[in-house]
Amino acid sequence: MTDSSVSNRAAVLQLVQLSSRLDPWAVRAAATLRLPDLVADGADTTSELAARSGTDPDALGRLMRHLRILGLFRTTAAGRWELAELGELLRDDHPMRIRRTLDQADHYVQKVDRSAHGLLEAVRTGGAVWERLHGLSFWDDMSADPRFGRGFDAQMARHSALYSPAITRGYDWSTVEHVVDVGGGTGRTLVTILGTHPHLRATLVDLPGPVAGAATVLEEADVAGRCVVVAQSFFDPLPPGGDVYLLANTVHDWSDEDSARILRRCAQAAGPGGRVLLADRVVTDEADEAAQAFVSGVDLLMLMLNSGRERSEEEFRELGATAGLRHTATHALADYPLMSLVEYVVEG
């Protein structure tokens, strides 16, 4: 074999793997059947794994062979299954909770996964494809289908567990008395901030579905006495009186036009000199390749779901300016560098 045919073969194999029809589904099957947990729990033969996962032993053996090649499992000298490093990441109790983002038993996960083929149309049309695929826009679908909404809220709670400690540590909350969390979901992010900063009062704003679950979340964290919950759209006038209007992981869900409408509502409620704080991903060429790939992947997902987008610092600056906000700072969160705080002040 010549050098060029060797590198050509490597490139072909790389492309075959990148465009695999099956690999993403093999990983999802492992996650849904909890194969990593079962192997860790001692089911280290194919027959035992099949018995405990309720699967066909021959088909499961073939799936396990493929998952071994993908790097999730290894076989010992005695021919028993053991977890490889990638498989460890799919344990249910892994702190990143990746397994649950792939679990096909979760209605939200399943619906989003099965919509991913819509990317082609999203690129052709330049906008969301959810409505064409499912008959309603992403957010209307969530209100109409409580199982979908609950699944989404649970995924958001898991995301929030990853970034809310970083938001809590990454901003000088001693300068704030009253924070309004706009699109604050079930209150998970707020609970972390309030729990660490006992001087803070808060208002949580979101649609009726997510805020219905907020009372329990706030009470369990013993912060309900410091938080008012408001069920409304953030496209309507927002409660006034906050020192900071926080939008965590929310503006990226929306087009520039809709994002500007939301930011204008924040600016009106905050008043001149008031602050608006975004926790979002910031597109930059300076991040490492894996981080850039993650952010560009989320960007495409946002395009498909809801015509949303990830933005560069310059795009955040311009977006703020259209809503009467002056951009004052952007900094990556030290404990969660995939996300940054984008800070604005309302122009006087």
Ligand X SMILES: C[S@@+](CC[C@H](N)C(=O)[O-])C[C@H]1O[C@@H](n2cnc3c(N)ncnc32)[C@H](O)[C@@H]1O
| Dist CA 90 CA 34 (whole Å) | 8
| HEC readout, 157-219 | HHHHHHHHHHHHHHCCHHHCCEEEEECCCCCHHHHHHHHHCCCCEEEEEECHHHHHCHHHHHH
CA distances for 204 relative to 34, 129, 141, 159, 192, angstroms: 36, 30, 22, 18, 13
Question: Of 65-73, 205-213, 267-275, 334-342, which segment contacts ligand X by CB under 6 A?
Answer: 205-213
Which residues lie closer than 8 Å to 174 by C-beta, 6 or more apart?
197, 199
Nearest to 329 by CA among 170, 109, 111: 170
Tell me if residue 327 is catalytic: no
46, 168, 192, 250: which one binds ligand X (CB under 6 A): 250
Which residue, 191 or 283, is less far from ligand X as judged by CB?
A: 191
Which residue, 72 or 266, is less far from ligand X as judged by CB?
A: 266
* C-beta separation of 204 from 181 below 8 A: yes
Structure tokens at 111: 């619906």
Which residue, 45 or 101, is less far from ligand X as judged by CB?
A: 101
234 binds ligand X (CB under 6 A): yes
185 binds ligand X (CB under 6 A): yes
* C-beta separation of 226 from 202 below 8 A: yes
233, 268, 292, 322: which one binds ligand X (CB under 6 A): 233
189 binds ligand X (CB under 6 A): yes
| Dist CA 24 CA 29 (whole Å) | 9
* C-beta separation of 143 from 153 below 8 A: no
Check 66, 134, 197, 252 and give the catalytic one: 252
CB of 291 vs ligand X, minimal distance in Å? 19
Question: Of 6-14, 18-26, 97-105, 246-254, which segment contacts ligand X by CB under 6 A?
Answer: 246-254
Beta strands in 3-126 (DSSP E): 73-75, 81-83
Question: Of 126-134, 195-203, 212-220, 248-256, which segment contacts ligand X by CB under 6 A?
Answer: 248-256
265 binds ligand X (CB under 6 A): no
203 binds ligand X (CB under 6 A): no
Question: Of 33-41, 103-111, 128-136, 228-236, which segment contacts ligand X by CB under 6 A?
Answer: 228-236
Q: Which of residues 101-160 bind ligand X (CB under 6 A)?
A: 139, 156, 160
Which residue, 51 or 212, is less far from ligand X as judged by CB?
A: 212
Nearest to 311 by CA among 244, 245, 265, 256: 256
151, 210, 213, 324: which one binds ligand X (CB under 6 A): 210
Q: Which residues are catalytic?
A: 252
Interface with ligand X (CB under 6 A): 139, 156, 160, 183-185, 188-189, 206-207, 210, 233-235, 248-250, 253
